Amino acid sequence: MSLLRPKTTVSAHCDLPCGVYDPAQAKIEAQSVKAIQEKFQGNDDPAFRTRALAIKEERADLVKHHLWVLWTDYFKPNHLEKYPELHDLFWQATKAAGAAGAKGSVDPADGQKLLDLIDRISTIFWETKAA
C-alpha cells in the first residue's frame, strides 16, 4: 500500500495554476459594452443599432461568465473572510452586467457602473494574489 501513497503532497488555493484567472477578461468585455453604448447613442441607422444591440448583449453575457468563473473558481472561503463585501460585490456586478443593467441598457453610464464594480473586484483580486 505504501507504494501507492504519494511521497509529496501539494496544495493550491485554486483549481489550476493561478495564471489562468484574471479580472481583465471581464473588464475588456465590459469596456466593449460601454463603447457599444456610446456608439449606439451617436448613430441613428436602424441596421447599425440592431447589430450593436446584439453584440452588446453577447459581450454583457461574457462579462457575467468571466465574473462567475472568478467567483466560483478563484475566490475561496478565506478570501470571503478577509473581504466580506465580495459576495455582494459579485452580485452587484453580475446584476450590472445583466438585463437590469448594461445588457438591457444603451446608457453609457450603466456601462461605466459595471466597469467601476469590476475595478473594485480587480483590486481585491490583485490583493489576494499578492498575499
Please give the backbone phi and psi of residue 116, each rounded to the nearest 5 degrees, phi first. Answer: -65, -40
Q: In this predicted model, what pLDDT tens digit does every residue of 5-44 receive, in sequence order?
A: 777 765 555 555 556 899 999 999 999 999 999 999 999 9
- Residues with Cβ within 8 Å of 41's Cβ and at least 6 positions away in sequence, in order, are 106, 108
C-alpha cell at 56: 452588446
Q: What is the pTM of this model?
A: 0.86
Q: Quickly state the pLDDT bin for 64 (edges 50, 70, 90).
A: very high
CA dihedral sign of residues 43, 44, 45, 48: positive
Segments making up each domain of the chain, as ranges: 23-130
Q: What is the CATH number of domain 23-130?
A: 1.20.120.400
Does residue 120 surpass a pLDDT of 70? yes
pLDDT of residue 54 exceeding 90, the answer is: yes
90-99 pLDDT, tens digit each? 999 999 999 9
Does residue 3 have a pLDDT over 70? no
